[in-house]
Every structure is written in C-alpha cells, then in structure tokens.
Amino acid sequence: MEVHVTGGAGFIGSYLVRSLVEQGHDVTVFDNISRGEVSNLENVLDKIRFVEGDIRNRDELEEAIESPDILYHLAAINGTKNFYDRPYEVLDTNVEGVRNVVDIARKQDVDRLVFSSSSEVYGYPERFPTDEDHVLQIMDPENPRFSYAGSKIIGEQYVVNGADDSSYDYTIVRPHNIYGEAMGYDHVIPEFIEQIVTDQPFTVYGDGEQTRSFCYISDAVDAFVRAGFERGGENQIFNVGKQEEVTINGLADRLFDIAGVHPEVSHIESEELKGSTRRRQPDVSKARELLNYDPAVSLDEGLERTFSWYCEDFTGVELEEWRERRN
C-alpha cells in the first residue's frame, strides 16, 4: 500500500516508518526535522521517499501528499517544556497542521486518515482506567501547559468532522506515555537515566507518588499500524498504552535496580506539576477488542532496553561495562 507519514522522523514516527517498510509498504515521510532527525531513518532512507517541509505550509504539504491509501498524521510540537515555553507555537503548528492535513485528505483519494492525539486530552481524569468516552477537558485555559491538550482536542474535531461526507475513514489514537530508545531527552525516563549514569544528584518532581502507565515503543507502533490497517479501526477512537501503573518513585527504583545503584533521592517542586494530573491509566480494552491489540513488552524489559541505549549514548560505553566500572 501507499502510506504517507507526517512527523515520520520523530520518535514514534520513525519507528512506525521502519515497521511499515519492513511490511513492504511504499512510504513517504514529511517532516521539517525540528524535533526529529533524519538519522532516525538512516537504515530505510534508500527505501522511502523523504520530503522536508513544514505542516503549516499548505503548498509544501499538498505537493508531498499524493493520494495515499493511508495517511498518518503525527507531526506536532510536543514535550512538556515546549508547552510552557512556546504555547502559541504549539497551538499554531498543531492546529494549522491538522487543518491542512484534513483539507488535503478531503480533496485527495485518501482511504484512511490516522491522527495521533494524546492522553493529555483527558485533563485530570475522574475514572480509572480511563476509557475513550471520558470527557475531554481543558483544566485551566490560563496555564500554558494546556496549549497542547487544546490543540489535540481541536485536531480530533477537525478529523472527525472533516470526514462527515465520508470522504475518508479516520482512526484517532490517544497514546499514553510511550517510551523507548531514542525517545529524546526532555522526558522523565531519559532524565532519570542521565542522572544515574553521570552521577548527578537524583531529583524527583513532587512527592513522586503520581502514577503513569508506560508503554514500550514496539507495542505502541503495533497499535498505530493496526489503527491504519484493521477494519475494526474505521471511524473509531482508541487509547494506546498499557494499563499497568507505576509511581514515579517506583519507576526510579526500577531504574536503580537495572543500574545496580541506589542513590539518595531528593524531591523538589516544579512549575510543570501545576498542570499535571496525579494519575494516568488508560483503558485499552477497546483496542484489544477491535484491533486485536495485545501489548507484549513488560515494563522491566522495556526499561532495560531503554537504559542500555541511553547509558551508551550518555557515557559512550555499554551498560555492562558501565556497571563493571561502577564496581
């Protein structure tokens, strides 16, 4: 099939592109390389069509998209630091981008549009595990953190209502705390790993009892692929993630066990906590039922893989050698 991916050089996007190529699809990637890197695609660059451009530029995007069977829209500005530092740009890029994608999908012969939304659209969830029928919320319009959630809620509206004349089928996915090798640096797992392997003081925001449900990248990509290709995904919205919860303190302890060290932990306050929910746990039963989604990688296994990659990235040595040097 002909598959196009916006944001295909980013973390989730590049893993998705590699999976699609392995399955034999003809893939076009559209990315402005502002957060992703071409190197993420180096082992498939000769097997894909890569177009560099900005999703806010309608002409560039329309020239790149050529009536694919499936169009994945992942391009966006994310990352908590960006929500606080660049809220207007977050809104401008994410909203203008999805509007352009939807307009083009309506004009061209696109069979299915897959939109990557976010768990952030639930605001502060009120029931757990949180299912797709939970209300979407902007908890505080004056807190810049919610620029991202707002952009994703608007994006979902564009995607759903853009398909009102059956010009395309859609699938919306709401990823929950996806992690893995090369996920970037402004996230809790790589930040914790860096503190451990470079002997920095180990700090945790708040009391560390807030919970998250982390999902390893290969499981997330499996869900994204199924969202695009499974018949059960037509005109549906799905949570993507795992239902196993862990506190941030518990996450730190698991990383300490992998490293074989147990540093003293300091708890500090952060502005980022003011807009952050205390608990996040997705209900993925709908994806299990309609997409046959079955996440397989345990948290311990995924953290071991991720720790190994970042250990070498931060220190230049493999995990086993780093452990030996520590001892």
Domain boundaries, given as residue ranges, for the chain: 2-178+214-242+281-296
Q: Which two tokens stand for residue 273?
A: 């906590």
Ordered DSSP codes for 225-241? HHHHH-GGGTTEEEEES
Cα 183–chain centre separation: 9
Count helices and strands (H / E) in the chain.
Answer: 11, 13
| Inter-residue contact 314 to 197 (CB < 8 Å) | yes
Contacts of 254 (CB under 8 A, 6+ apart): 246, 299, 300, 303
Predicted TM-score (pTM) above 0.95: yes
pLDDT attached to residue 274:
78
> What are φ and ψ of residue 28, in 5° steps?
-115, 135
For residue 29, the surrounding DSSP H or E stretch is strand 26-31
Residue 326 pLDDT: 85
Using CA atoms, how far apart are residues 154 and 152, in angstroms rounded to an integer?
A: 5
Say which residues have a Cβ less than 8 Å from residue 270's Cβ, sequence separation at least 6: 205, 206
The pLDDT score that the predictor gives to residue 275 is 82
Model pLDDT, residue 65: 96
Q: Residue 199 CA to chain centroid, in angstroms?
A: 28
Can you give the pLDDT at residue 64? 97
Query: What amino acid positions are annotated as catalytic residues?
Result: 148
DSSP state of 276: -
Direct distance between the N- and C-terminal alpha carbons of the chain, in angstroms, rounded to an integer:
52
Q: Could you give the CA distance from residue 90 to residue 292 in angstroms, rounded to a whole number?
A: 33
Nearest alpha-carbon partner for 32 in 70, 64, 68, 66: 64
Q: Does residue 25 contact residue 2 with C-beta atoms inside 8 Å?
A: yes
238 bridge partner residues: 173
Q: Do 241 and 308 meet the contact criterion of CB atoms below 8 Å apart?
A: no
Per-residue confidence (pLDDT) for residue 167, from 0 to 100: 83
- pLDDT value at residue 35: 86
**What is the pairing mode between strands 2-6 and 236-240?**
unpaired
What fold is seen in the domain 2-178+214-242+281-296?
Rossmann fold (3.40.50)
pLDDT tens digits, the chain, 327 residues: what are they? 999 999 999 999 999 999 999 999 999 999 999 988 999 999 999 999 999 999 999 999 999 999 999 999 999 999 988 999 999 999 999 999 999 999 999 999 899 999 999 999 999 999 999 999 999 999 999 999 999 999 999 999 999 999 987 789 999 999 999 999 999 999 999 999 999 999 999 999 999 999 999 999 999 999 999 999 999 999 999 999 999 999 999 999 999 999 999 999 999 988 777 789 999 999 999 999 999 999 999 999 999 999 999 999 999 999 999 999 987
User: What's the gap between Cα 84 and its chain centre?
Assistant: 18
CB 224 within 8 A of CB 173: yes
Structure-block tokens of residue 26? 């003809």
Which H or E run includes 148?
helix 146-162
The pLDDT of residue 271: 76
